[in-house]
Structures are given as C-alpha cells and as structure tokens.
Structure 1
C-alpha cells in the first residue's frame, strides 16, 4: 500500500518589531512625498484604467495610496535572526505534533535569505534543536514552501523518511535600506511544519511546479556600503522588462500551476474547498480569485497584518486559515505560491488532523483595513 504524506503540525513565528505607514511618514516625509518616483511606485505603477488584465484591475484601487495598501509589517528586532524565528516555529511545530527532535528524520530549510550565505540555516537549526537528523537547504525564493512541501512529501512517500521538518523564513528587512520605498511593503517571518505519514485519504495529492525564468533580472542583489560605511547585502529593483514580466506573466503562471496540480491530484477546481495564495501585495488574493473564477470568500490574505513576507507567506496564510477554522478536516486545499527568478507552483492537499502551534500575539492595528487611502 502506498504511503500517504501530509501535514501533521504547523506553526508560525513573526518577529517583534512593528512598522506601519506612520513610521515612514514620521521619519522619511520627503520620501513619502516623492513616492511615485521611487522604487515601490515604479514597481506597481498605474496602467490603463480600462485594462482587462486581472492584475491591473485588482491593483487599480490601491494606486492612490503611496504605500500600495500596506497596513503593517513586522521586521526583525535587534536581537532577532532568521534562525531564531525558525527555531521558535520549529519547536512549536514539534510540540504541537507531540514530537521531540529525536522523532524527526530529516530537516529542510527554505530561508530567504539565511543568516549566512554559506552554509544556510539548516544545519544550525538542527544543532540548536538538538536533532541528529540530516539537514539541508532549499532555495526557491518566495515559493520555497511549496517546493519544500513537495520535496518532504515525496521523501516520505518513497519510504526514505517517516517525519520531515520543513522550515521557511524571510528576512527582507535585512536586504533593504529602510529609506528605500520597497521596505514599505516587505517584512520578515518564519513558519514550520512536520510532514509525515498520514492516513488515507489525507495528505499531499498532487503538485505542479513551473519555471519563472522570464523574471530573471527583476531584482538586483549585491554588497554595498550602508550609511555607516559598513558592507551590507542589499536588494533593489532591477531590469524594468523583467519587472514587467512579473505582472504580465502572473495570471498564466497561476493558471498553469493550478491546472497541473489539480490534474496530478485527480480533482477539479470546483472540488477545492479553500485556496491558499502567497500574498505579496494587498490585492494578490483577489487577483488570484479573479483569475481562477472563484469566490474571494474561499481564500484569505494575511497581507494587512504582515505585508510581504516572501518565503514565509505560504505557511502564514495556511496557519491563519486553519486557526480560523476555515479548513476543516477532510477539506481539499489548493496552495499556490509564485517566486520571482525561481519557480511558481501549486499543490493540492486533503487536510487531516493537523495540530497547530500557539497563535502569534494579536495585531495592534488589526481594525485597520488594507484599502486605498
């Protein structure tokens, strides 16, 4: 009998420092005034008001807001690292599953970016957990969670391992100058899941990954000097054509990934009970709903609470959906994520008995809506 592999537990860990648009208005008023000519304004610039492109349609309502719908972001505090967030999420996921480090057979880490460029966080995570399991790093930018879910489930189904700990994290704040308007919508975070043997019919049913090679060059990265003259690793907007491809290819990437995952799982779009999209913008969940022709109530977006937390978005959206009881046992869930300069992908999961880690502290601005100013 084939082994079924799926989620056993899920946990997230946001960082401690909160930033809202008020922070930039107070500290960088001149940048806010010139926002439309800066990085974020150019990245999400208005097109034709009569455009039929679904991305443009859903973005239109946010173009009068210089922050493009950002409500709040959470970023690493002075004493925090991606590893410290990953470690907290991993321990919470293990505790929720009633497991210890010795129950894990392998550890996969998708850190974007890790605390050190080489080697990545995986082996350090194993050390700090006290786990003897082999640990290695995955990298697929913002789609690292979907790639990790496919990899972990495949290893379990193949009989190589019984339980795999998958950890994802994002540290955009360390790659951006706080005066760069890109920092207005990018934050940090981490998530972890135990993926192992689960009873039929639950588990990962089918996955489809595709290349996003058309976006190569969309972001530039390298070492530069900060305001104190110290070398730092920075990310900035890159080639305008590649940046345009991120928007123009978005609908096709979603459709191709979702169609492929549904076919691999042997189910139809109308069979899906709930949808999880990584939500790098305030309008991305509604964009995905429009493209797939589904009711927006069948998904959710954590963007108002966290902003764009890259590789941590998938786990965070999934956790909040499960915590809000939007995904009951037996529900079919389609999970989709897109990463620039890497992959896009979807996976179909039948939700089982998934234990959740403790909820994060409540948001102090949750009453605010991520709507146009």
Structure 2
C-alpha cells in the first residue's frame, strides 16, 4: 500500500445572520461593552435564528468548503462533525449534514470533545486517510451555544456565540515531512484528556443525569490557568515531535476562547501577536467551530500561504486538549 498523507484542500465557514454586539447584550443583562471588552476582548457574536439547527450551520460551512476545494459531494467518504450542541441526542448531527448535502455513500459520525472537538476530529480523519480506508473527508466544527447558555449569568453568556467552519481533507501520495516545504499536509496530531477537571467547565444536564439539556457552567480562573499551561505544552510537543522549534511555525491558530488566554499562551511561548490568528473579537467563543472559523478568515485575507507551517491548538471541557501541525 502506498504511503499517503492528509492534505487540507479547502476551507469554508458559516455565521448566522443575527450579529449581537456587546451594547445589544447590555440592554438585556447587567453588563457593559467596556466590562466585556476589557475582560475578554469580545466585541460581538452571532446567534442562530429560531429553528436554525447546528446541522444547518454545519451543512452551509461544508458547502462553502466543497466549493473552495472544487470537490463534489459524491466524492466524500467521511463526514465528521465536532459539536457539543447536536441537533438531537441521536442520530448524529453528521448524518443530518450528510442528508442535507445529498450524500448517500460513505459514513458519518459526531466527535464530542467540546472546544477541542475540531482538533480531535481532524486527527480522526487524518488517521482514516493514512490507514487507506478513505480518500476524502469533510471535517466540521459547528455549534449553537446560545441554546445552552444561562442568559442570567453574565460571567458566561457574554463569552459564546454560534457558527460553523469546515475543511476538506484529502489523501495525497507520499508522507508529510517537516523538512520539505513542498510536502503540504498534516504533519502530526497530539491529543490529551484529563477527566479529573470536569467540574471547572461543564453543562449541568444530560439525558442520563438530569433528563434535561442543562446550562453551561464554568470556573473562569481555573479554566484560564489550565488553558495557558496545556496549550503552551501541547504546542511545544507538536513542534518537538517533528524536529522543529516554535520559531519555525508561521501561524498559530488557537481555539478562540478569550483574548486574555490567547495573550497568556503567546507570552508563555514567546510568540509575537503578529503570528497569532485572533478572531474572538468578531466571533466570540464558538467552541469546536472556532479554529475552522479563524482558519477561514486567515485564508481568505491571504495571511496563510502555501508552504506556511500552521499550528492548530485547542482546549475544552473534559478537560480535553490537543494540537495539529500542518504544512499548508
């Protein structure tokens, strides 16, 4: 069997029509634009319309990515949807996306690793391709977090938004090597979890525990501490595994949780802000959707170019965290 690598050949995104500014929120809850901006860096977020499902967002992002890649839906072998806000308990939201795209072949399932979900899903697709089981995958991060927020809790409800981003991952002959700038593809993925920290970021409901959907709960200081430490460590792990240094990475695309977290990670890694893709100001925290949304912005505006080394990294409830090093 020939050696294959996974190459990202297209990226797309979708944001709901309703944009909600900090000033809009201040009309409804006890907060101000200055309070939100100074603590999070967030200026606005997008909120799904009534009746607009996570699968609707995901399918729209997937169509955008397929168009960008010049690939038709009937070429897709696998659909992965990273989400912690599925349409239903079951079936998987990925199967709803499959139906909406008119795909009747291959297979589809969800990945639940909260904000780390996109990196986890990308790792799954990468390994399916390397094993020779598939040739083309759509990897989607999609969330409707507005449905699980407690809108009376200003410490959490101001942080999140809805949206979706998708990438098309395709098998390409030959191994991806860090030393070859023409060898575009996923160089490595690195996944971690530690369930002892469940109580610092969770939803207080579920089919088995309360038979309700529940609301998001978070201990902000603890999340900040773990996020900075884990994201810095997994970034170093990824470059070290490929015989590289952080200086070799052109772009860092972290999970867009909070500007303070991103700045903390940048300081710990001694990475300048000019190498960090930040979109949290416009999108807020969109959980599993945040990395592909940020990727799409940076690809559209031309910052990420062919040959660039790009590090994707995220941390989420669980705790889960991980990174993917990609040669574009």
Scaled by the length of structure 2, what TM-score is found?
0.88
Check 1:63–1:15 CA distance in 2 against 1; reply closer, same or farther (3 A cut): closer
Asked whether the 8 Å contact 1:253–1:344 carries over to 2, the reply is yes
- 1:347 is displaced (CA, Å) by 1.1
1:42 is matched with none
Q: Distance in 2 between matches of 1:156 and 1:13?
A: 26
2:17 is matched with 16
1:184 is matched with 158
Structure 1 segments unaligned to the other structure (5+ residues): 36-61, 225-230, 352-373
Check 1:2–1:65 CA distance in 2 against 1; reply closer, same or farther (3 A cut): closer
2:58 is matched with 86
Q: Distance in 2 between matches of 1:5 and 1:300?
A: 23
Q: Does 1:76 align with 2:48?
A: yes
Q: Secondary structure at the match of 1:222?
A: coil
Asked whether the 8 Å contact 2:229–2:265 carries over to 1, the reply is no
| Superimposed CA distance per residue, residues 109-148 of structure 1 (whole angstroms, 9 cap, x where no aligned partner) | 1122111122220111111211122111111000111111
Q: Does 1:211 align with 2:187?
A: no
Count of matched residue pairs = 313
- 1:263 is displaced (CA, Å) by 2.6
2:98 is matched with 126
Q: CA RMSD in A?
A: 2.3
- 1:294 is displaced (CA, Å) by 1.0
Q: Secondary structure at the match of 1:114?
A: coil
Q: Distance in 1 between matches of 2:40 and 2:323?
A: 26
- 1:195 is displaced (CA, Å) by 0.4
1:286 is matched with 263
- 1:244 is displaced (CA, Å) by 4.2
Check 1:66–1:318 CA distance in 2 against 1; reply closer, same or farther (3 A cut): closer
Asked whether the 8 Å contact 2:313–2:323 carries over to 1, the reply is yes
Scaled by the length of structure 1, what TM-score is found?
0.78
Structure 2 segments unaligned to the other structure (5+ residues): 175-182
Q: Distance in 2 between matches of 1:175 and 1:268?
A: 39
- 1:186 is displaced (CA, Å) by 0.8
Q: Distance in 2 between matches of 1:338 and 1:154?
A: 21
1:221 is matched with 204
